[in-house]
Amino acid sequence: METAITNSIGMVMILVQTGNFLMGSNVSPAKWDEQPIHKVEITQPFYISETEVTIDQFSQFRAEIDGLDYFKPYITGISWYDAMDFCKWLSEKEGKSYRLPTEAEWEYVCKTNTSIKNMLSGPREWCLDWYGDYSEEDQTDPIGIEYGIAKVVRGGGLDTESRDSKDDDYARPSNRAGIAPSFGYRTGSFNDFGKHNIGFRVVQAPMPKTKLIEYQPSYSQQGVKQNDPNINHSFDLQKPYLRKRYLLPTPLENSSRNDIDSAGFPPSFRGHNHSPAVEVCSNGDVLLIIYTSYHEYEPEVSLIASRLRFGAEQWDMPDTIFDFPNVNDHAPLLWNDDGILHFFWGNPKLNNAFPFQWTSSKDNGVTWDEIKFPDFINKVGGHSRQPINTAFRDLNGTMFVSSDAVGGTSVLWASKDNGKTWYDTEGRSAGRHTTYVLLKDGSILGMGGKNTDIDGFMPKAISKDGGKTWEISKTPFCSLSNNQRPSIIRLQSGRLFFAGDFQRLNGFQPQGINQRGSYVALSDDEGNSWHIKKLQGAQPHENPEIFKAMQGETIGYSVARQAPNGMIHLITTMNSPCLHFEMNEAWILSDDTEELGDSELMKSKAMSISGVKTYEEKCPDGNLKLKYSAGIADDGRYLLHGKETWFYKNGNKQKEAIYKLGYKVGTETYWSRDGKKLWEWQYNEDGTSIWTQWYRNGQMKAQSTWRNFRCEGVATRWDIDGKVINQEHFE
């Protein structure tokens, strides 16, 4: 084979010989996803283009390239699909096999071949693979995982350089970035969205015949019931009910890197968990998605998920879910749109990012559509790429999605064709983080947000023209500031539910407000007047100095939803840890003001159970998918009770646990598809539980002891060879 050739469109193609190398890095500033370092063997030679594809070369395939010259002379701003189509065209033109390089081929060339240009100094470059965790084992001609949400991008980071993101930290041979494959500029658009810095180079060689690595979905996507007949069951809603739970474990919350690693969490988890999205799925499960970070605008911010399964008393341990690597994934928003679960989020630091992207699920969050980017049909005004906490349809079916705008304002993005096209409603409401609800007459109410006020009070805004113009007036609530976000929803009863804080972050209150802490409120007249009640169990701000200044508890960034059974779920952040409150309208309307401690607020009142039945769900092919038991407790609630088993499609057990009145007892075990034990919980009668994890080779990976979502005693993590790499003693 010749060492270099020039193809029919003028590309210089350089021969790369077979060989092996160590893929990944553990040398600072290497990121967690560059590990474990593993040996990779490349068994077939291939040609790779000396440079990225140029504008002139791409224009021979597609003449219309307006707006794709961000990185002249190289083509950028094109989607992964555009790059794949170019390769298909060139293959057909020459009768040879052209394709994108695999991630392994790209890193192999970058580390071993100095004659290839621009790999760390030119445009970022699309690769063939879906992004996923590295294998613990050595690989031969790897081609990535079988499915994902992001295609690998190499050659540097994607977010704009900032205090927390230096370009040189990402311009390394082993650095991994990624974005959804449809991310790209739409020629002729009113806006510059998608004019990114990603191009591509090509490989001339057959596809490796390697098997794709098995896709491992988030734990929140596993064992999800679809047909529970009891989702509307509720006890007497006239009886006041308030329950408090810890939403996230400690650590994770407000914890160091060593604490998080020692406790057994994934390496992408970080100590600041904020800006929550929550929704009650159509099966009754409560689904949480929240970002995890150390600094709010660093590229390593990613999204994690947890699920409070219908009939269970405890939230699942969180797991990873959506992540564009090397991109700040921010401001999640969940919306149950009449059985279709939509998930929106933003990328505030990504070059020419869209205002948001979204995906949808028709099976309660088990599977998600490919990520979509909005096609705006008008010029978009000033905005931040940060969805808020509400989305809804108006009386005509138009979709509205809330988002921060600029300064102390918010905006509604809208779609009249179910998301095919979108438009800026053009108006801006009277606060950042405004929370919205549709009123009965078809107008839209936006409540406050932060960083604006009228005489110290929270403003409200009403639009009668679909968000184009707003009428601003004063509410009876204190205005809010940093670290605060209110919530509003329409309840099944027709009332409005609202939640916020009695004071700003600095302790300020307008004249006439004399309570401190947090509140929930109900309105029978579309927000003109409110029945306000102090929220019991709210906790201080996680920063003691801020709490001292605030002089009251906070719900931080909140989000609220109502379940099919009538229960209201309220999520809070900026506490240690984040909290979940479950309540009904009867509690808010009750005259009971007795302050209860956590021992009462967090305690289940269920003592016995009756009518226990066993349920089964099957796969489309008839194989058993899951089996569980549940009944009605003496406090009227539907609770899991008895053995629950999940099965893989091949018939092997996936997970087995035993429930007693909604709590797990005894031993809970989780296996891989091929029968290897991956983790186990041992629930003890003294209230402690031991979490043990294993590598696929059988070596213990991590072990920690927990009580009420808090780690205690010694927690240890080992490497795959049995060496202790992290250990911490928790009080």
Q: Classify each residue of 55-89 as buried b or exposed e, where b means 16 or more C-beta atoms within 10 Å of its C-beta.
A: bebbeebeeebebbebbeebbbbbbbebbbebbee
The predicted structure's pLDDT at residue 1: 85
For 626-670, how does the pLDDT look when each residue is reduced to its tens digit (9 = 90+)?
999 999 999 999 999 999 999 999 999 999 999 999 999 999 999
The predicted structure's pLDDT at residue 581: 99
The answer to whether 309 touches 365, Cβ cutoff 8 Å, is no
Q: Is residue 9 included in any domain, yes or no? A: yes
Q: Is residue 707 included in any domain, yes or no? A: yes
Q: Which two tokens stand for residue 99?
A: 């394709």
Residue 433: φ, ψ to 5° = 65, 35
- The span from the CA of 109 to the CA of 127, in Å, is 13
Give Cβ neighbours of residue 572 (< 8 Å, ≥ 6 apart): 247, 518, 538, 539, 554, 555, 556, 557, 558, 578, 579, 580, 581
Q: Which amino acid is at 622?
A: G
For 456-472, how does the pLDDT look when each residue is reduced to its tens digit (9 = 90+)?
999 999 999 999 999 99
The answer to whether 629 touches 643, Cβ cutoff 8 Å, is yes
Mean pLDDT of 116-132: 97
Position 491 confidence tier, pLDDT thresholds 50, 70, 90: very high
The predicted structure's pLDDT at residue 318: 98
Mean pLDDT of 61-79: 88
Give Cβ neighbours of residue 250 (< 8 Å, ≥ 6 apart): 576, 577, 709, 710, 711
Contacts from 572-575 at CB under 8 Å and sequence distance 24+?
A: 572/247, 572/518, 572/538, 572/539, 573/273, 573/274, 573/275, 573/276, 573/290, 574/274, 574/483, 574/541, 574/542, 575/538, 575/539, 575/540, 575/541, 575/542
Residue 187 has pLDDT above 90, yes or no: no
Q: Classify each residue of 282-301 as buried b or exposed e, where b means 16 or more C-beta atoms within 10 Å of its C-beta.
A: bbbbbbbbbbbbeeebbbbb
- In the chain, % helix, strand, coil (3-state, to 5) comes to 10, 40, 55
**pTM of the predicted model as reported, rounded to 2 decimal places:** 0.97
Q: Per mean pLDDT, which of 134-138, 402-406, 594-598 is the most reliable?
A: 402-406
Q: Which residue has the tokens 């021969």?
A: 15
Q: Which residue has the tokens 């007693």?
A: 660
Give the burial class of 47: count Cβ atoms within 10 A of its Cβ; 0-12 exposed, 13-18 middle, 19 or more buried.
buried
The answer to whether 445 touches 482, Cβ cutoff 8 Å, is no
Q: Is residue 104 included in any domain, yes or no? A: yes
Bridge partners, 38 (sequence order): 23
- The span from the CA of 196 to the CA of 123, in Å, is 9
The predicted structure's pLDDT at residue 592: 83
For 170-182, how does the pLDDT look when each residue is reduced to its tens digit (9 = 90+)?
999 999 999 999 9
The answer to whether 226 touches 78, Cβ cutoff 8 Å, is no
For 594-636, how does the pLDDT look when each residue is reduced to its tens digit (9 = 90+)?
889 999 999 999 999 999 999 999 999 999 999 999 999 999 9
Residue 442: φ, ψ to 5° = 95, -10
* Domain stop point among 204, 238, 262: 204
Q: Which of 414, 355, 404, 262 is nearest to 729 (CA)?
A: 262
For 710-727, how does the pLDDT look when each residue is reduced to its tens digit (9 = 90+)?
999 999 999 999 999 999
- The domain spanning residue 196 has which CATH number? 3.90.1580.10
* Domain stop point among 178, 204, 230: 204
DSSP assignments along 16-81, one per residue: E--EEEEES--STT--GGG-S-EEEEE-S-EEEESSPPBHHHHHTT-S--TT--TBTTB--S--HH
The answer to whether 423 touches 411, Cβ cutoff 8 Å, is no
Q: Is residue 422 included in any domain, yes or no? A: no
Bridge partners, 665 (sequence order): 658
Q: Is residue 29 included in any domain, yes or no? A: yes
Structural domain span for residue 613: 609-730
Position 588 confidence tier, pLDDT thresholds 50, 70, 90: very high
Q: Give the strand order in the sheet containing 12-16.
A: 4-6, 12-16, 46-49, 203-204, 98-99
Instruction: Evaluate the omega torsion of the peptide bond into residue 318 and state whether it is cis, within 30 degrees of 0.
Output: no
Bridge partners, 377 (sequence order): none
What are the C-alpha distances in Å from 636 to residues 243, 491, 606, 715? 14, 21, 8, 38
Work out the mean pLDDT of the chain and round it to a whole number.
96
DSSP E strand stretches across 98-181: 98-99, 124-130, 139-140, 151-154, 177-179
Q: Which two tokens stand for residue 346?
A: 């933003």
SS3 call for 547? helix
The radius of gyration of the chain's CA atoms, rounded to the nearest angstrom, is: 27
* Domain stop point among 204, 224, 253: 204
SS3 call for 167? helix
Give Cβ neighbours of residue 126 (< 8 Å, ≥ 6 apart): 80, 83, 100, 151, 152, 153, 198, 199, 200
Give the burial class of 627: count Cβ atoms within 10 A of its Cβ; 0-12 exposed, 13-18 middle, 19 or more buried.
middle
> In 10 A of CB 41, how many CB atoms?
15
Residue 554 has pLDDT above 90, yes or no: yes
Q: Is residue 214 included in any domain, yes or no? A: no
Using a pLDDT cut of 90, give the percent of the chain over it. 92
Residue 86 has pLDDT above 90, yes or no: yes
The predicted structure's pLDDT at residue 449: 83
- The domain spanning residue 618 has which CATH number? 3.90.930.1
Sign (positive or negative) of CA dihedral 500, 334, 340, 581:
negative
The predicted structure's pLDDT at residue 270: 96
Residue 68 has pLDDT above 90, yes or no: no
Give the burial class of 454: count Cβ atoms within 10 A of its Cβ; 0-12 exposed, 13-18 middle, 19 or more buried.
middle
Q: Which two tokens stand for residue 503?
A: 């004071």
Residue 67 has pLDDT above 90, yes or no: no
Q: Is residue 148 included in any domain, yes or no? A: yes
- Pinpoint the alpha helices (H) of 96-152: 103-112
For 240-298, how does the pLDDT look when each residue is reduced to its tens digit (9 = 90+)?
999 999 999 999 989 999 999 999 999 999 999 999 999 999 999 999 999 999 988 89
For 314-352, how does the pLDDT look when each residue is reduced to its tens digit (9 = 90+)?
999 999 999 999 999 999 999 999 999 999 999 999 989
- The span from the CA of 675 to the CA of 652, in Å, is 7
- The span from the CA of 505 to the CA of 553, in Å, is 10
The predicted structure's pLDDT at residue 594: 84
Q: Which two tokens stand for residue 410?
A: 């918010």
Sign (positive or negative) of CA dihedral 50, 54, 56, 61:
positive
Q: Which of 177, 197, 76 is nearest to 131 (CA)?
A: 177
Residue 233 has pLDDT above 90, yes or no: no
Give the burial class of 266: count Cβ atoms within 10 A of its Cβ; 0-12 exposed, 13-18 middle, 19 or more buried.
middle
Number of domains in the chain: 2
Q: Is residue 88 included in any domain, yes or no? A: yes
